[in-house]
Amino acid sequence: MARRVFLTLALILFAIPSGFGQSDAFDVVISGAHVVDGSGNPWYLADVGIRDGLIVEIGNLSQRASTRVIDAHGMVLAPGFIDMMGGTTLPLLLDPVTAQSKLRQGVTTLMAGEGDSMAPQDERTIKELNLPAGIFHWTTLEEYDRMLDAKGIDISVIHNVGATQVRRVVIGDEDREPTAEQMAKMKEIVAKAMQDGSVGLSTALIYPPGTYAKTEEIIELAKVAAKYGGVYFSHMRNESGQLLEAIQETIRIGEEAHIPVHIYHLKAAGQDNWPLMAKALLLIQSARDRGVDVSADIYPYVRNGIGLGSFIHPKHYANGPDVFLATLSDPKVQADLRREIEATTNWENWYHHVGKNWDNVLVVQVPAKVDKRYEGKSVQEIAALRNADVWSTFFYLVQQGGVDVDPKSMNEEQKQQALRAPFVSIGSDAEPMNPAVSTYAHPRTFGTFPRILAKYVREEKVISLESAIRQMTSLPANELKLWNRGRIAPGLAADLVLFEPANVADTATFAKPLSYAVGMEYVFVNGQLAIDKGQPTVALAGRVIRASR
Amino acid sequence: MRRHPKCVLVCMAVVASLLFAAATHAQTTAPEQYDYDIVIRGGRVLDGAGNPCIFADVAIKDGRFVKLGKIQGHGRTEIDAHGHYVSPGWIDMMDQSGIALPKNGLAENKLMEGVTTAIGGEGGTPVPAEQIRDYWSSLEKNGISLNFGSYFSETQARIAVLGYDSRQPTPEELDKMKAILETAMQNGAMGMTTALIYPPSSYATTPELIEMAKVAAKYGAIYASHMRGEGKELVQSVDELIEISEKGGLPGEVFHFKAAYSPGWGKLMQEAGQHIDAARARGVDVAADLYVYTAGGTGLEATIPSWAHEGGKEELLKRLGDPEIRARLKKEIVTGSPGWWNIIEASGGWQNVILVNAQNPDNAQFQGRSIADIAKELNKDPTDTAFDLVAQAKTGRVLAIYHMMSEQDIETALKFRWTSIGSDAGTALMPGGDDALGLAHPRSYGNFPRVIARYVRETHTLTLEDAIRKMTSWPATRMRIADRGVIREGMWADTVVFDYDKIQDRSTYEQPDVTPDGIDFVLVNGQVVIDHGKHTGARPGKILYGPGFRK
């Protein structure tokens, strides 16, 4: 329906013959756009010529031959957006349509990996992916990337190697320190992933078994990534009361491993902790000032998304989740856990973060065995549906495993503060998704990037359009060392988005999240139209980007 | 203040020893053993795009940046930039070197303040349109240390056809003027300029300029102007430039954006900026550059109403010698004169007009003093004093400095996202000399470091990233220089290595010719031109041709 509105904008499209087969004819000329080139510079008016996947010329190209000309007067041409937290690339392998969730936001490149990663795998870990039998199998990043290459993908991707993934393959899921041999093995695996083109090492230090990794262990692995010019990315150990300590740990890893560090979805979760955002930004800036390369990304929503299991202290998962979840039916265990949740705060206590209010905890995804009606309802509402006590409902849901929730844990002010920091880029913290076969998602899955442009640029004027584009393009390109993307300049990959700034918008909400963003009229991936007049082309022009060494 | 982990002295010693080692090493080792010509290690790389610095090594080969990141290989020359910033080379959006560069291609004052690319030509190319290619060739043949491009002035075309007459061209004359401009565009001029306060440029009407601008537009070039008024009439002048840009169909650039009118300080600049914002909002690509001093400098003849200049200098001198005409001119200094910008009023009186170059040995004693002060000593009327100084010039144009701007307005202008930095100063004919126009103004030596030292480090008007953007990628974008202005693989390796804590302009109105501190290395097209603050004598600069250039 929304798409029809955009068709009425009636963009004038016309093709002119490509002359007499001159080799200098363009594949496409985008004519008369306001070029917002990915730097923080103001727009300028120009035609942009594309050939063989690259931006080849910028200027007055009106007299030049081109296979196709797109009249872009009144529209903004920007580099394709880079999603610093693109989840995983597995959906792209299983269902190409999932790329639409990114493309329709203007995302042309995503980075995958957050503690977990698609490589390395072993027989046990790959089984847990529940892949269609016999079709896909791999252990290394090199093997996985080759599969993606062979399959063809609609956007470009770059992988990091997850420290949790490495730990699981070498140590398992238990809370154990690696032996010297295990440590050597982990370093070897990281080195191999870096050689295969991984952009760096990632951690997710709130999810077991990632939580079991001590700082020193991470530093050792980060040193390996550093040797290859890699970057360290982290979902930090704490994003609430101990936010500053967690940032300090991240900075320490950067300093001791001599590696640039990037903080995933920077946030100050929990009402009491909201004032920490300003302090966090200062802490990062002061580290930068003394020469530590620290950056961060955010998503533009005040609700985060986590597993409901995270509402219980991570120590209980030390022997693997299955062992622990089996004990959850025991009323005594429930009572002890409830006391711990209600009374202690020396851990990442999400119940406290949402103001001790189960109504602020929205269940968004439940496993197949659980009543689908629970999706889109708060834990409190589900308790009412079940005609049960809210705590027993909570324990029931946790016990089912794989229940995802969106707790309302942040405020608008901290989003604005973060967006104004020059080193903050944008990440969706969402994997590619096909809405037709999904039941629920965090709306960031479909709306993150347009929401920045609609809400924080157009409506609230928190940052300028040019600055927002910079934070979605050249800044993340710098952080990922993608020197040939993230900018509009001759010689660079033609990843481009063309939109009307007045019309671009997210439509996904927490109530109705499975809804594509609108307004991205044309999206080019490596010089080919992936979205043409708002319609997908499934050109599969994306590439697996291997970090150059 | 930012703190750096390493003592600068140690750092510099390391640099020196590395350079020494590299130099001695190079003599005994085959060049192919080096992976790169130059590697700049461990610096804080500002990409020019406005992004926070990247902590990375930068490798240079064959004149271009070839790799960013962790560089494993070695350079024939290694520069240790730990604790220092590495910026794209600075682009001077309003340079005055056109005449001086053929005489002194080393351009020491420019390079030592970090300028690697200069866009000259407020008054046009120093040669007529049809000789521009020869001019480029001779610059290339002699060699220049920075990259250089030049505008062509609409006034050059006007003078060629109309001489110094104060009248509008006939359609046939306008066609001739257009043909001249076309020649200039095809010969590589970067755009069309006017300097509408100076006769005979001031005789050009807006419709004439629009017609001429359309020719430049056809070539994808830009229009830049020293506007008709920068004081009381600033806003109307900006509106005229917007109109020329809009109707001419090309980007418009305000040269040395300023509010030179003391009663309008704090208001005019804001208002002019709003007009540009509004124009940009409706799609007119207008922007501005500025120098960061509250005094401007130009010829002392600017104090004489425009009509008196008609017919050229001889006519002017005749008029100044005619008691009746002189009396009328003196009256107009008070009452104003149509089409003339009253620069004395803008400065708030003769006490703020300082003689800097008398062009006459007998009057040289008065240099550095205000016209009011000189008048008092000579027991003369100050207006007569100024007129006489102009008339007594023997060797060229009498030059003065006018204190007519406010700090507040400079800060306001710097904060507009679309402003870039230009010096309005030319190459000095020798190190430590005045710029080639003979105009002693501190901007000749200090303009660019002053942006960082004063407006980033001291007043926090700009962030460092934003200041660098205004000195690099934004001017490159404005001038359609696609292969400079940012540090990225494949771009020409123009770069400045500077110490943020130490960078400091040292030139003042009293001592305008002092070089700045804190700029350690300047590279142009991958060659070291400034090495530890000293000019190496290298001349790697290239001519930058405008978009209409036909090979």
Placement of tokens 């693109």 in the chain = A86
Residues in B touching A491 (Cβ below 8 Å): 490
**Rounded Cα gap, residues B542 and B139, in angstroms:** 9
Give A292's pLDDT tier (boundaries 50, 70, 90): very high
Mean pLDDT, range A12-33, rounded to an integer:
65
- Looking at chain B, how many residues does it have? 551
Residues in A touching B283 (Cβ below 8 Å): 34, 45, 74
Residue A293, chain B, CB below 8 Å: the answer is yes
* pLDDT reading at A17 higher than 80: no
The pLDDT value given to residue A15: 35
* pLDDT reading at A110 higher than 90: yes
Who contacts A171 (Cβ-Cβ below 8 Å, separation ≥6)? Answer: A178, A182, A186, A209
Placement of tokens 């290298």 in the chain = B538
Q: Which value, to the nearest 10 degrees, does the dihedral of the CA atoms of residues A16, A20, A23, A28 take?
A: 10
- Of A465, A462, A435, A463, the residue nearest A447 (C-alpha): A435
* pLDDT reading at A150 higher than 50: yes
- Of A493, A499, A472, the residue nearest A81 (C-alpha): A472
CB contact at 8 A, A507 and A515: yes
The pLDDT value given to residue B384: 96
* pLDDT reading at A348 higher than 70: yes
Q: Is B532 left (phi over 0), alpha (psi -120 to 50) or beta?
A: left
The pLDDT value given to residue B23: 36
Main-chain phi, psi angles of B322, to 5 degrees: -90, 115
**Rounded Cα gap, residues B293 and B407, in angstroms:** 8
Strand order in the sheet with B399-403: B295-299, B399-403, B353-357
Nearest C-alpha of chain A: how many angstroms from B464?
11
**Rounded Cα gap, residues B109 and B434, in angstroms:** 9
Residue B277, chain A, CB below 8 Å: the answer is no
Q: Tell me whether residues B2 and A491 touch, CB distance under 8 A.
A: no
Q: Output the pTM of the full model.
A: 0.88
Residue B308 gets which letter from DSSP?
G
- Of B19, B1, B26, B64, the residue nearest B492 (C-alpha): B64
Residues in B touching A288 (Cβ below 8 Å): 52-53
**B5, B82, B477 ranked by CB distance to A41: nearest:** B477
The pLDDT value given to residue A20: 39
Q: Tell me whether residues A489 and B83 touch, CB distance under 8 A.
A: no
Q: For residue B468, give both structure tokens.
A: 């660098």
List the 445-474 stretch of B: residues with Cβ below 8 A of A.
Answer: 463, 465-466, 469, 473-474
The pLDDT value given to residue B437: 63
Residue B95's beta-bridge partner residues? B120, B425
Q: Can you tell me whether residue B209 is helix, strand or coil?
A: helix
* pLDDT reading at A22 higher than 60: no
Q: For residue A74, give both structure tokens.
A: 């009144």
Give A11's pLDDT tier (boundaries 50, 70, 90): very low
> Considering chain A, what percentage of its residues have pLDDT values greater than 90?
87
- Kindly report the average pLDDT of chain A as a whole number: 93
Q: Which value, to the nearest 10 degrees, does the dihedral of the CA atoms of residues A240, A243, A249, A250 take?
A: 100
Task: Cis check for the bond before B516: say yes or no (omega within 30 of 0).
Answer: no
Angle, CA B81 vertex, CA B536 and CA A474 arms, to 5°: 110
**Rounded Cα gap, residues B353 and B371, in angstroms:** 6
How crowded is residue B235: how many other Cβ atoms within 10 Å of its Cβ? 20
Q: Give the DSSP letter string of A511-544.
A: SS-----B-EEEEEETTEEEEETTEE-------E
Q: Tell me whether residues A290 and B287 touch, CB distance under 8 A.
A: no
Residues in A touching B285 (Cβ below 8 Å): 43-45
Q: Tell me whether residues A40 and B469 touch, CB distance under 8 A.
A: yes
The pLDDT value given to residue B341: 82
* pLDDT reading at A78 higher than 60: yes
**Rounded Cα gap, residues B426 and B435, in angstroms:** 5
Q: Tell me whether residues A59 and B83 touch, CB distance under 8 A.
A: no
Chunked in runs of 10, what are the mean pLDDT values of chain B (551 residues)?
32 41 38 88 97 96 96 95 97 97 96 98 97 98 98 98 96 98 98 94 96 96 95 95 98 97 94 98 97 91 93 92 96 90 89 93 94 96 96 91 94 98 93 69 95 98 98 97 95 98 92 93 98 97 96 83
Residue B214, chain A, CB below 8 Å: the answer is no
Mean pLDDT, range A329-354, rounded to an integer:
93
pLDDT digits (tens, 9 = 90+) for A436-484: 998 888 999 999 999 999 999 999 999 999 999 999 999 999 999 999 9
Placement of tokens 């590696």 in the chain = A259
Residue A279's beta-bridge partner residues? none
User: Which of A29, A37, A41, A470 would best serve as a mutation to test chain B binding (most B beta carbons within 10 A)?
Assistant: A41
Cα B110 to Cα A53, B89, B465, B481: the distances in Å are 39, 11, 21, 19
The pLDDT value given to residue B12: 39
Residue A470, chain B, CB below 8 Å: the answer is yes
Q: Is B323 left (phi over 0), alpha (psi -120 to 50) or beta?
A: alpha
- Of A154, A244, A157, the residue nearest A198 (C-alpha): A157
The pLDDT value given to residue A23: 55
Residue A420, chain B, CB below 8 Å: the answer is no
- Of A201, A212, A281, A269, the residue nearest A238 (C-alpha): A269
> Considering chain A, what percentage of its residues have pLDDT values greater than 70?
96
Residue B351, chain A, CB below 8 Å: the answer is no
Number of inter-chain CB pairs under 8 A, A vs B: 107
Angle, CA B286 vertex, CA B284 and CA B287 arms, to 5°: 155
Mean pLDDT, range A111-124, rounded to an integer:
96
**Is the Cα dihedral B368, B372, B376, B379 positive or negative?**
positive
Q: For residue B251, give both structure tokens.
A: 């980007």
The pLDDT value given to residue B29: 42
CB contact at 8 A, B513 and B84: no
The pLDDT value given to residue A426: 98
The pLDDT value given to residue B30: 54
**Rounded Cα gap, residues B433 and B438, in angstroms:** 9
**Is the Cα dihedral B208, B260, B288, A500 positive or negative?**
negative
Residue A14's beta-bridge partner residues? A69
The pLDDT value given to residue B32: 65
Give A224's pLDDT tier (boundaries 50, 70, 90): very high
Placement of tokens 């007045």 in the chain = A502
Q: Tell me whether residues A40 and B83 touch, CB distance under 8 A.
A: no
* pLDDT reading at A12 higher than 70: no
